[in-house]
A and B are shown apart, each in its own frame.
Chain A
C-alpha cells in the first residue's frame, strides 16, 4: 500500500464499496453473509478475477455456478446466456462490480485502478496472498455467489 492506509481500513472500505457496487449493478434482492477469513488456498470452478492496483493491491474474485451468472445476466439483459457469451458476460459483470467499487471507494480517500477481467473455468487454485476474505452472497430465487477479496 503506497499511502498510510491500515489493512483494517482498506478491508472495511473495500468490502463496503463492493457491497454498494453489487447493489447498484445487480438488480436482484440479495443477502450478504458475514465475511470470513479464508485459511486455505482458493479453489474456483467458474469465476472471474479482477486485479486491483493503486493505494491498495489485491484481487477481487467472483465465483459461483454458471447458472447463477446466467440468471443474473438474464435478469439484467432479458436474454438467456450460455457458452462463450456467458463467459464474456461473467467477465463483464466482474468488471462492472469492480468498476463500481473503484468509483465508490474514492469517497474514502482511496484511489485504485482495476485490470481487465480474467475468466476462470475448470479447476483453478489461487494462492500467494497475505489475507483472503470470503463473503457469500445469496441472490433471491437465483442462488449463491461467492465474493473473495485477496490482499497482497
Chain B
C-alpha cells in the first residue's frame, strides 16, 4: 500500500484529503501543518507521495517542494492550492511538482492525480 504525507495548514483540508486518500486505498502516514513540518516528516517517514498546500505559515509549499526535491530528486509531490494562476502552476512544475490540484477539489480529481503520479 502506497504511503502519503499530507501537508496543509487547515485541519479541515487535511481531514478531507485523508478521507479521500484512505478510501482510495492509500495509507496516510503523516500530516504536516506547514512546509517546515513537511520537510521534517518527509525525512522521517519517507512517504511514496506528498500532497503540498502552497499558502502556509512558517514555510510555504513552494519552498518545501524545493527542499524536499533537494533531499530526494525522485520524491513525488502533488501541489494542492486554492491559487491556480498559470505562472504559479508552471513554477511548481518546473521546481519538480508532479501535478497541481486547485481547491476546491473533487475525489475524482484526487484519484486521477495520485494514479498518474504513483
Contacts and interface: CB of A to CB of B under 8 A. Distances in A.
Mutual binders A and B: yes
Interface of A: 25, 73, 76-77, 81, 84-85, 88-89, 91-92, 95-96, 98-100, 102-103, 106, 111, 113-117
B11 A76 contact: no
Interface residues of B, number: 20
Interface string B86-118: 110000000000000011100000000000000
Interface stretch (B37-45, B66-74, B76-84): B76-84
A99 B12 CA distance: 17
Nearest to B10: A92
Contacts, number: 59
Interface of B: 9-13, 15-16, 55-57, 81-87, 102-104
Contact of B104 (A84, A85, A96): A96
Contact of B10 (A95, A98, A100): A95
Contact of A102 (B9, B12, B83, B104): B83
Contact of B82 (A73, A76, A81, A96): A96
